[in-house]
Structure 1
Amino acid sequence: MRTFALAAAALLMSSSAALAAPASVTVDLSPKMQAKAHKTYGVKEVANLADELRKDVLRELTKTGAYDGARVELTLVDAQPNRPTFKQLGDTPGLSYDSFGIGGAEIAGRAIAPDGTVTPLAYKWYETDIRFARANWTWSDATWTFDRFAGQLSRGRALASR
């Protein structure tokens, strides 16, 4: 029994070494989003949002193995919060965190396969009806957009703009 367990462990280790490395994911901000970060939303808050996009995509791609060995280069083109950011609250007297609206995000980029093949990626989604806004926290609709993008990308779908 012990020999079987050792053989199974060795087999698992050798098979995992043969798998391709998970995709690398980078996220940059568009000039439009950088300007919004400085002027309206707050630099730290937007940087955290971009990091959330990177983590979501990497997590989903690692789960499924889609785009193994590829470089996924994304740009956060735009994002709109559901609730005011800390910077907006500080800059606008009388604004309340209880205020909410429709949000969403736009993502563009490309996946570069190990063989050099480039696949363009683009996705955007903004809530259109205030009744359905996911206003649980500041970036609810934007993170929902990230999750949906990451899930579809991890299933091997090259996404066109929606």
Structure 2
Amino acid sequence: MKTIKQFGFALAIIFSLTLSSCGGSDDNGGGGGFNGPATGTFIKAKVGGSNFISEGEFAVGNYTSGAMVLTGSSTSGKNIGIQLYSTTGSLAVGTYNMNATQDSDIAVGSITYTDVNTSTFTVTPYNSLNCENTNGTLEITFMDATKIEGTFSFVGKEVKEDETCNGGTKTVTNGSFRLVL
């Protein structure tokens, strides 16, 4: 399981680093918790009170055999990554626990907010799963053969390079997403 977490975490960082060098504006309205764009894959949220949005080519993901992975980056070096893996082989509409106390749940998931300093390329990840005293919830509100939509929120702790969790925290609220299949 640790390998899956590390792979997803690395994937989120790679997407964030790759897309943070692109130009453009990410000021597309407000934060999350409300309807997003009419079409396409997106992730929206409020991170520490600031708006985050990723859509179009900056938001990508996949769903297969009960595994959903979605990541979205902004042009300012911010990234939100969502991973949800069913232990029964499929996901359904419902609420999923996204923290370290999910041992008996039917799914294992995490949400990661990554902040990349685009001047120094210093990466600071905040995760809902790897540290004690974190919490997160993801609700799939709609799911069919063409898309998955839902909401999320979490309090993530900074995961240091040595995998300790003695850094700061980030609160992500009003999150919403759509993954077009």
TM-score of the alignment, normalized to the shorter chain, above 0.5: no
TM-score (norm 2): 0.27
Q: Which has the larger radius of gyration?
A: 1
TM-score (norm 1): 0.29
Structure with greater strand percent: 2
